[in-house]
A and B are shown apart, each in its own frame.
Chain A
Amino acid sequence: MKNVLVVDDSRIMRNIVKNTFTSLNIPCEFVEAANGNEALLQLSEKKIDLVLLDWNMPQLSGIDFLKKIRAMPQYAELPVIMVTSEAARYNVIEALKSGATDYIIKPVSEKSFKEKINKINF
């Protein structure tokens, strides 16, 4: 079973992201984190196959978490999809330059998840 790490400081959003992902009928287990620091801890403790990552979070933001893990060779190829309200093109470009695999703008939809997940052959 693959593990999907859902990182968002909003519990409601984590549930919405999990429910939307579940509707794609991809067998997986979810691991949750409320900020980048918690996400780093989860990465060190479990084998994670995909990260769904919010941008604006307390302590360690999603973009800083992304930059940190891309500097670690063991996570260089880990798929990370940003799931964020940050809709400006300059934000999308910054995330992709920082190593994001893809980008979904909130509010999330089943369609947008399906497109992005198909692209990474998860």
Chain B
Amino acid sequence: MEKYIHPFIEVCENVFRDFIGAELTAERPFFVDKKDVHDWDISAVIGLTGEARGAVVISMKKNLALKVTDMLTETEHKDIDDEVLDAIGEIVNIIAGNAKRGLEEMFRLVISLPTIVRGVNHSISWPNEQTRIICIPFKIFDEETFSLLLAIEAAN
């Protein structure tokens, strides 16, 4: 799994720097237990198909989603509206699309359109029971955090 993680960390840091103007600090990745309860307010999901199957998910709290959208649009957002959904979806789309470059020696991948899941304590259903999910936590704006969740399995 480690060989898949590095392209995503690098791309995530670059995308937030170049697209949002924010520096990230990647923390230690860990395997996620599907039974774990999270307290994210919004997640954006991109499906991966082609020579591998899986998904890339970015999850964050509402306040961070609003702040990131404010920075992208240079307007203030007070609640999760269509523009916030658009912003978070576009961020995960750019991360997944750019990460394909770092993975191209291993797989030819096709990425789906982003799907947004929202709501307090929402959960993500992953493709199957065997899929191992890696969570890469990132620190942003000193004190805030978000997670990039990643599951990739070579297709049979």
Contact = CB atoms under 8 A, between A and B. Distances in A.
Contacts of B96: 85
Contacts of B123: none
A56 B93 contact: yes
Q: Classify chain B: how many residues form its interface, as a range.
A: 20 to 34
Given A88-B109, A109-B18, A10 B86 contact: yes
A13 B18 contact: no
Given A11-B83, A107-B15, A109-B18, A88 B100 contact: yes
Contacts of A58: 113
Nearest to A105: B98
Most B C-beta atoms less than 10 A away, residue of A84, A88, A89, A106: A88
B18 A85 contact: no
Interface string B62-102: 00000001001100000000010011011001111111110
A26 interface: no
